[in-house]
Structure 1
Amino acid sequence: MDMLDSPFFELSPIAMWLEDYSEVKKQFDVWRQQGIQDLLSFLQQDESRILECARKIKLLKVNAKTLELFQAQDFAHLSQNLDLVFKEDMSKTHITELVALWNGEMHFSNAAINYTLTGQRLDIQLKGQVLPQHEHDLSLLLITTEDITSYTEARRLEEQSRHLAEARFTYSPTSLWVEDFSRIKTKLDQLRKLGIEDFTTFLDVHPEFVNECAKEIIIIDVNQATLDLFGAPSKEVLFKNIHKVFAEEMLQTFREQLIELWNGLLHHQREAVNYAIDGSIRHVLLQFTVFPDYLDDWSIVQVALTDITARKKAEHYLEYLGKHDVLTKLCNRSFYMAELNRLERNILRPVSCIFMDLNGLKELNDSLGHDAGDSVLRRMGNILNQLIQHTPYSASRIGGDEFVILLPGADEAALQNCLQSLQELLLVDNQFYSNQPISLSIGYATNHTDERMEEMLKRADLDMYRQKKNYYLDKDRRQNS
């Protein structure tokens, strides 16, 4: 049965065209006689040759689906308005079929853009087939034009969404990591199969499991904000130095994450400590999420790191201010009272203390001004901080000119050593500031068996005030003599 008369052609659910390419074949023969061998290059040199071939194609017949697809009333309506159908630049798509036919291929396929007669854009998949017994002159070709507009639009939207997601990842101001946790899930699943139920106890017994899991993390990608956060010039440099970023402190955080994952919490957050490549600390808020499409194997997870270093510094400074005297950098009265309560409750004994009062601070402020007095207080703070460094002792400024050192675990011998060190530091400082030496009234005590802290402190305080009284008596005698 001739295709021109076939009922299958007319009833096909796909748009079909029967076309005559015999004039195109004759043009091919002319070009071959002229010595043309590479048709592709020849047509690309002058694209008008492509349109010349296109005009030589004769449209013989279309089926009902073609008229419906292109919104044509009948064959004549369609054939007289082909310029509307092919108003897109056809040179790029038509050249493909011409080259295929030139090379002796009996079929071709390519994507193209057509338009309905009312101007509606159609994305089509075009396929052509030279029908049997017409191979010698290309006088009958079957062309199908399948409407793939919805598919192409879906692809286009999917690509736009992908580009948007990539842009959000790349340009996010938050450090983002895409990682593969599938091997970790496998390890956890294996433990469950072995009958492990108390995972926290398991980690206590097998702490090396945390390290083993950490080694199974595969980093897939990071964004620019990550490179900026950790001071890495490139991803390659960051990945080579990843051991510097995730130092020992991170293992405890990762242990907590493993427990969260074991308990089914696939989205969680916590604070963590990382390090930049230059070794500087980075406090971060870590947010971990297993992507929805990967809940079964955890092969794609996102880790978001928000830099909270500045906030942590502010918190630490506020905490410091709450416990320290800004001028002397010693602990303040609030810390002193809290430490007393702690030592009272603690069974550690003995405890010793040293009370100190700066002699002549009021007179110094009155005669030379508060700047001079503040200078002496700063010197005092420096002396006491040197005295207690590398010890469990604490030094506090509890009043304008009053200071106290608490010495947990210090017996009378340790107390005397500390007093001797204090005198040596005072001597060195006073030699340097010989025009304004520091004079101290000092009282000290070590608690007796079963003696409350309060009683010991009273003894030291009274001792200091006796020294203070003697200082002013001596001063008065010197002035009156």
Structure 2
Amino acid sequence: MSLSTDFESMFDLAPVSLWLEDYSGLRQLFDRWRAEGVEDLAAYLKADRQRVGACMAALKVLRVNETTLRVFAAADQDELLANLGRIFRGDMADGVIYELEQLWRGELLVENQTVNYALDGRRLDVQLRVRILPGHEGSWGRVLVSLDDITARVTAERERAQSSQYASGLFDHSPVSLWVEDFSAVKRLLDDIRARGISDFNTFLKVHPEFITRCIQEIRVIDVNRETLRMFAADSRKMLLENISRVFRDEMQDSFSEQLQDLWAGKTQQHREVINYSLNGELINIHMQFSVLEDHLAEWDLVLVSLMDITARKKAEAYLEYLGKHDVLTQLRNRTFYTEELNRLTRKGPWPVSVLSIDLNGLKQINDDAGHAAGDAMLRRVGEVLGKAVEAPAWPARVGGDEFAVLLPATDERGAQVTCERILSMVDLNNQFYAGRSGQPLSLAIGMATCEFGDSLESALLRADKAMYRAKAVHYDAQGVERRR
């Protein structure tokens, strides 16, 4: 077999699409345009796209190999050449201009990624190489064009890009705050102290609180989403990250200490409620979910943190808790709280415990004469007096319609007397303030009792009630009216 025959066999059996072409007509067209004064071929072709068609028409296909027929779904070369308009079409125009411009500049080898179409309609992404063969540099009479079908690779890359764009969109437009962080430096710090023989990490943090601050400083924020900027009142990612110490402060130290202890114990997925602050100073209650991504467990260099703003829920819970233990009208504690506190003091003290039993004098008469709205106003005034006169750890409570009580832990008889005097003094101030606004002055009947350790607190309550009723009887006797229960 001759060398020429070998080359022909190699051409036909090559695993890539090969085209042997004659570009001499294109060379003559270029020469004519140069003579006419054309200097910028790309601009010249873009000004009139029909000129691109003229360039393509000047190319002559001499031969294609078997791979070309298979790639382009052609039965034979005649069918292929008769349908070149179906192969070279659509979105390949800009690529053709680029290739023609390279030839115009004298390049003997032109490479480009472009798009062709098979005769069955399939879109083909191809890697194109145009080589003017040696000995034909002057005429361009023989040019070898190779087309490598890279459709599968380009499709995979496109799908990866679309998937990445989709994931990026989900991240950026998520309705919860998302943070992508690098905890690798934190892991190195934990590994270092473990290597130094530290086993009781909780005690270590108590002795070295600066270690917590150091770990916080070593966290690197890679990215945050839009909801994060909105939640923390930041105009930009740069603004947020430059002020991160204003976001994670105060109570965050304790919660991050707990987070470090979980990480020390190997818990790389965590959730807890924490407190952060927006850049405008507002406290934000947050439910945090922390997860080291599975492929990064060795280094902790990719961590996803989601923060959900639960401030509204916390406020609602606090309000419901408030309602459960407070009297809405007087803003004092209610009977539920009073009963719970009474039970707690009965079990644990601290002793002695003193009790004030208080009753609003004349409420029924006020309700009968001026209406319940006037009676409610008097009850609110009692709430104002007791709320100002009684100091923690004692708590005043409304335990009935016109009945109030004050439990005084760790308070003896003298302390109870001081509290009683303070209440009566506050009643006088209240009456002065409301003088002329209400026809009825505020009047309270107060009974006191003290319970020592080992005595019955229930008995003290009964003594305080009896004392209160005696004070109430004295009030009505002084008023010259019959007491009505």
- After TM superposition, the score normalised by the length of structure 1 is 0.93
SS of equivalent residue, structure 1 residue 418: helix
Equivalent in the alignment of 2:65:
63
| Cα shift readout 1:447-469 (whole Å, capped 9, x = no counterpart) | 34543322333322221122122
Aligned counterpart in structure 1 of residue 280 of structure 2, from 278, 281, 295: 278
Residues 274-311 of structure 1, C-alpha deviations (whole Å, 9 max, x = no match): 22222222212111122333333222222111121111
Q: Is 1:176–1:225's contact at 8 Å kept on the other side of the alignment?
A: yes
Equivalent residues of 1:21, 1:58 under 8 A apart: yes
* Cα-to-partner distance string for 1:286-345 (whole Å, 9 max, x where unaligned): 111223333332222221111211111111111111111111111111111211222223
Residue in 2 that maps onto 1:440: 444
Q: Specify the alignment match of 2:328 in structure 1.
A: 326
Q: Once the 2 structures are TM-superposed, how far is the Cα of residue 68 of structure 1 from its aligned partner?
A: 0.7
Deviations 1:146-191 (A, max 9, x none): 1111111112211211121121112221122222222112222223
Task: Determine the C-alpha separation between the residues in 1 that align with 2:394 and 2:47.
Answer: 90
Structure-2 change in CA distance of 1:476 and 1:196 (3 Å): same
Q: Deviations over 1:175-212 (max 9, x none)?
A: 22222222112222223333333333332332222111
Alpha-carbon deviation of 1:430? 0.8
Alignment map for 1:339-350 (pairs within 5 Å): 339-350=341-352
Number of equivalenced pairs: 478
d(CA) in 1 for partners of 2:4, 2:387:
107
Match for residue 339 of structure 2? 337
Matched, 1:416 2:420: no
- Which residue number in structure 2 is paired with residue 257 of structure 1? 259
% same residue: 46
Q: Please say if 1:407 is aligned against 2:411.
A: no
Which of the numbers 451, 454, 468 marks the counterpart of 2:455?
451
- Find 2:293's aligned residue among 291, 294, 303: 291
Does the CA contact (< 8 Å) of 1:106 and 1:129 recur in 2?
Answer: yes
Contact 2:184 2:300 in 1 (8 A): yes
- Stretch of structure 1 that moved more, 257-266 or 118-127: 257-266
Match of 2:240 among 234, 238, 260: 238
- Give 1:475 shift: 3.1
Task: Within 5 Å, give how 1:59-98 maps onto structure 2.
Answer: 59-98=61-100
Contact 1:4 1:61 in 2 (8 A): no
**Is the contact made by 1:398 and 1:404 (CA closer than 8 Å) also made in structure 2?**
yes
Partner in structure 1 of residue 11 of structure 2: 9
The code of the aligned residue for 1:75 comes to Q
Displacement of 1:7 in angstroms is: 2.1
| Cα separation, partners in 2 of 1:421 and 1:96, compared to 1, 3 Å | same
Query: Quick check: 449-458 or 69-78, which moved more?
Result: 449-458
Shift of 1:52: 1.2
Question: What residue is the counterpart of 2:468 in the other structure?
Answer: 464
Q: Distance in 2 between matches of 1:3 and 1:156?
A: 42
**Letter of the structure 1 residue corresponding to residue 242 of structure 2:** K
Select 1:363's aligned residue among 341, 362, 365.
365
CA distance in structure 2 between the aligned counterparts of 1:151 and 1:273, rounded to whole angstroms: 48
Moved more, 252-261 or 74-83: 252-261
| CA distance in structure 2 between the aligned counterparts of 1:133 and 1:192, rounded to whole angstroms | 73
Q: 1:55 to 1:313 in 2, by over 3 A?
A: same
Matched residue, 1:354: 356
Q: What's 2:194 paired with?
A: 192
**TM-score normalised over the length of structure 2:** 0.93
Question: 1:58: how far off?
Answer: 1.2
Matched, 1:42 2:36: no
Distance of 1:450 and 1:208 partners within structure 2? 47
Q: Distance in 2 between matches of 1:81 and 1:477?
A: 118
C-alpha distance after superposition, 1:213-255 (max 9, x if no partner): 1111122222222222223333333333322222211222222
Structure 2 runs not aligned, ≥5 long: none
Decide which of 197, 205, 208 is 1:206's aligned counterpart: 208
Output the amino acid matched with 1:406.
L
8 Å CA contact 2:349, 2:410 repeated in 1: no
SS at match of 1:293: helix
Q: Residues 76 and 229 of structure 1: is their aligned pair in 2 closer, same or farther, counting only changes over 3 Å? A: same
| Residue matched to 2:111 | 109
Aligned residues of 2:92 and 2:116 also touching (Cα < 8 A): no
Aligned mate of 2:219, from 217, 220, 227: 217
Letter in 2 for 1:467: A
Aligned partner of residue 90 in structure 1, secondary structure: helix
2:185 to 160, 180, 183: 183
Q: Residue in 2 aligned with 1:149?
A: 151
Q: Which runs of 5+ in 1 are unaligned?
A: none
TM superposition shift of 1:81: 1.3
